[in-house]
Amino acid sequence: MRPCTVKTSIAAVFFVLLLSLPAGCSAVQKAELKGIRYSRSAAELQPSFHPDVTEYLIAPVQSTAEGFLFDGFTLPRGASLTINGESRDGGAYRVEHLEPGPNVLNLEVKNRRGSIREYSLTIYRALPVYKAQPGDAGRDLPAERFESRGDGTVLDRKTGLVWLQDADPAGLVSWEDARRFILDLNSGEVPGNCGYSDWRLPNIREIRSLQNYREANTADWLGKYGFRNIQATCWTSTTYSNNTDMAWIGLFTNAHIVQTPLKTHANYVWPVRSESRLARTGSHRIEGYDPLEWEDGSRSAGIPWPEPRFLDNRDGTVTDNMTGLVWLQNGGLCGIVPRDEAARFLDAFNTPSAVGNAGHTDWRIPTVNELESLICFGEYDGKEWLMMPEQGFENIRYQYWSCTPSLEGYHWTMLTLNGLITHNYGSLGNSLWPVRSLEQP
């Protein structure tokens, strides 16, 4: 996680979290914060402030054009404050730049007697959920997304990942042979590393980031942007949590993500390198499985999740601190219905008099990318994981509609058990899980 740089500023609007001293307690008896004040009211301090709590999350933060403003920190009389090694007076501070994901402020409070207490404030900038198709909710894709760099590689400006331009440098190989090929590629034992020695197998979110849900054939679409030799199936480094003898693959003929029967089966290898701007997969959580050094569960490529990941808003909704999306807490409100009936249900749900909408009338059917953002690929049963107390959801169903269309008459859907993306004909029955975007000040 990255430390933030701060400088003094002036707050026009602020949110106050202040705890008064107990009766008879001298201000110099303890080195502790007495309050944290900041101006972004849509971002929650988690947990609520208490001077004996030393680790906090401020999330989700989305707009960063003006940085993040702390109106100030309340200190005991005579105490001093250090933020990321710099002495401060407790006044207003602005974090000038937030990287996507966690940004850490390390605070040290020192009282007049020399006692010290350390605090950690993690400001979590929400990760963007990109549009799966034009017209979807979410962030627009970069206008010039792919850049052929002239050295046999292609940069994806959406993710920051650099892909080998040749998507088939190894032929059909097993998962273990894919690992050996990557090692040989990095050492120069086999040609084609383009001068780099940090190639790896992509994880499931990285390979999925190349999928285009508005195209009948993703491989043909990617071929327009400088890639070549794109094959139907490509290995990922992500072990399948339901059976650790299996691993996830990407399917580029129709944008499905499927798990291969066994790691001994043969698929293609598409190497990737550089730091990812995507969220981690959660693969390290697979119980009873010790991942190899090179695979997703050990490398944990991507941006760490916030802790806690979800916030129960106590109004029948749950905020995802990682994306800033607000989900209905009850994932089974309307049962299993055809796609058109799900849309009609949502229209009625968005009327002011509807029961259970938490006072909001902007609920919508999630995109396929928004649904996938909820999945932890390290869990044996993602549905049960979402209903654990730490996550806070209830009545989660097996399969959900997205608003993202597929072939004529079809829409993309997601299985909560494992994150499998597939498409269903609109007259078939699936569940509806309403979502909305968090308002920002």
Instruction: Give the pLDDT confidence of 117-165 residue by residue, as tens digits.
Output: 999 999 999 999 999 888 888 999 888 999 999 999 999 999 999 999 9
The whole-angstrom distance between residue 78's C-alpha and the CA centroid of its chain comes to 42
Q: Write the CB contacts of 199 (distance below 8 Å, at least 6 apart in sequence).
A: 164, 182, 185, 186, 193, 271, 272, 273
Closest CA to 358 of 387, 326, 380, 386: 326
Residue 41, pLDDT score = 63
**pLDDT tens for each residue of 390-413:** 999 999 999 999 999 988 888 999
| Tokens (6 digits) for 117 | 């207490």
The pLDDT of residue 259 is above 90: no
CATH class of 2-125: mainly beta
Query: What 3-state DSSP class applies to 186?
Result: helix
Please tell me the least confidently modeled range out of 104-118, 284-298, 351-365, 405-419. Answer: 284-298
Domain boundaries, the chain: 2-125, 146-299, 310-437
| Tokens (6 digits) for 376 | 């932890």
Please tell me the least confidently modeled range out of 20-24, 164-168, 384-388. Answer: 20-24
**pLDDT tens for each residue of 219-235:** 999 999 999 999 999 99
* 363 or 24, which is more confident: 363
Q: Cα separation of 278 and 261, whole Å?
A: 26
Query: Is the whole model's pTM more than 0.85, yes or no?
Result: yes
Please tell me the least confidently modeled range out of 50-54, 65-69, 138-142. Answer: 65-69
Q: Cα separation of 47 and 120, whole Å?
A: 12
Place of tokens 């905020």: 319
Q: Cα separation of 102 and 100, whole Å?
A: 7
Looking at the domain that runs over 310-437, which CATH code has it been given?
3.10.100
Hey, which bits of 141-201 come out as E strands? 146-148, 153-156, 162-164
Q: Which helix (H) or strand (E) holds 185?
A: helix 175-187
Closest CA to 294 of 240, 210, 236, 378: 236
Task: Round the average pLDDT of the chain to a whole number and report it.
Answer: 89
The pLDDT of residue 27 is above 50: no
Residue 28, pLDDT score = 45
**pLDDT tens for each residue of 86-107:** 999 888 998 988 999 999 999 9
